[in-house]
Amino acid sequence: MDLTAFPRVSLAHLPTPIEPLPRLTEALGGPQILVKRDDCTGLSTGGNKTRKLEYLIGAALAEGADMVITHGATQSNHVRQTAAAAAKHRLKCHVLLENRIGSNDPEYLYNGNVLFAEMHGATTEHVAPQPDMNAALAETGERLRSEGHKVYVIPGGGSSPTGALGYVRAALELTNQMAEQDIKCRHMFAGSGSAGTHAGLIAGLTAVSSEIAVHGVCVRTPSEKQDKNVLALANRTVETLNVADVDPARIETDDEHIGEGYGIPGPDTLEAIDMLARLDGILLDPVYTGKVMAGLIKQVRAGRFDKGETVLFLHTGGAAALPAYAGAVRPQTSPAA
Ligand SMILES: *Cc1c(COP(=O)(O)O)cnc(C)c1O
C-alpha cells in the first residue's frame, strides 16, 4: 500500500499521544483504559476531521480549486476544522449548516463551532433539515461555479474515500505506536457517524493485517444501515489503495447510545461526559465522544473485557460544541454546595 501517491498537506500535530485514563480505569475496576488523543490534532482546537482534511485539501489544491464547500449540522466540528484548513491554504470556504435538531437557542445557532468557523472566514448559510444534504451541497456548488469560483466539494464529515485516507494513515500510526510502546490492545472504541473515521481505520488495519477490533458507536444511524455505510466506504477506500477488500465481519457497531437522535445527549452520554471531566480531566462532547464513551463504559460494566486487558478509546474531539450545549452539561450542584 502506497499512501504517498495521494496529494496531502500537513495540518495535524502527529502522532497524537496515547495516554492512560487511570481514574476512569479505577472507577470501573479494570480493564486498563487508554485514550488516543485525536482531540489534540492542533488545528482550531483539534479533532478527527483534521486528518481527513490533510488529504481533502491536498486534492482540492491539486485540482486547482480556489474554494471549498461543505455541510454539517449547525454545531459541526467538521465545518469548523474545514474553515480553518481552508484559511491556512488560501481557499475560500462556504458551508451549509443544517438545523438538524430544530433548535432556536441562539447559543446553539451562533456560538461554539459556528463562531469559530466564521472567525476563520467561512461564509455560513443556515438551512432547515433536508432529506439529502449532499444533494443540496451539489446544487450550491453548481451555483458558485456559475459565479466563477473553482469549487472543490467536500461531502458531509469529509467522508469520501479521499478523506478516509486520513484514518488509513491513523491506523498505521496507531499500530506503529503500539509496537514502539509495547501496548497490547485488541479492542478500540470509535465514533461512527459519516463513517470516514470508522471505514478508514478498518481499511488501514486490514492493509497492515492488524487484528484490533474496532467497536463503532453510532451517533445517528441504526446499526443495520450504519454497518452497510461503513463497509461500502471501507471498500471504496481500499479500492483506491489497491489492497484486498475488507472482511464484512470486521464491521461492528452499537446503536444503543444514539438516544433521541443525532445531537441529543441521553442520560448515559451525560454521565460519561461528567465522569471523564471529573476523573481524568478530559472534555468529551454531547454529540459524538460522550456517546462513544457511554458505549465503552456499558461494555466494561457488562464484564465484556478481562481485568488484565487493555481497551483503547479514540478521542475524536468535539469540545468546541460544549458552549452550545451548556444547558445540558452544566453540573446540577450549586457552586456553594
Ligand atoms: C465527525 C465526528 C465523529 C465521527 O466521525 P465520522 O468520520 O463522521 O464517522 C466523531 N467525533 C467527533 C468529535 C466528530 O466531530
CA 337 vs CA 331, 332, 333: distances in Å: 11, 10, 6
What's the predicted TM-score (pTM) here?
A: 0.97
Closest by CA position to 86, among listed 150, 174, 182: 150
- Give residue-wise pLDDT tens across range 213-265: 999 999 999 999 999 999 999 999 999 998 889 999 999 999 999 999 999 99
Give me ligand 1 centre to Cα 83, in Å: 16
Averaged pLDDT for residues 46-64: 98
C-alpha cell at 291: 456517546
Cβ 77 under 6 angstroms from ligand 1: yes
Report d(CA 86, CA 199) in Å as an integer.
Answer: 24
Task: Output the residue whose Cα is nearest ligand 1's atom 15.
Answer: 77
- DSSP-based helix, strand, coil % in the chain, nearest 5: 50, 15, 35
pLDDT at 158 over 70: yes
**Ligand 1 midpoint to CA 49 (Å):** 7
Determine which residue's CA is closest to atom 8 belonging to ligand 1.
194
Q: Alpha-carbon distance 157 to 194, whole Å?
A: 6
CA 333 to centroid of ligand 1, rounded, Å: 31
**pLDDT tens digits along 172-189:** 999 999 999 999 999 999
Say what the pLDDT of residue 244 is: 87
> Is the CB of 78 inside a 6 Å radius of any atom of ligand 1?
yes
DSSP assignment of 229-275 = HHHHHHHHHHHHHT-PPPPGGG-EEE-TT-TTBTTB--HHHHHHHHH
Element (H, E) at 201: helix 196-207
* 82-126 pLDDT, tens digit each: 999 999 999 999 999 999 999 999 999 999 999 999 999 999 999
**Choice from 221, 288, 289 to test ligand 1 binding pocket (greatest atom count within 8 A of CB):** 288
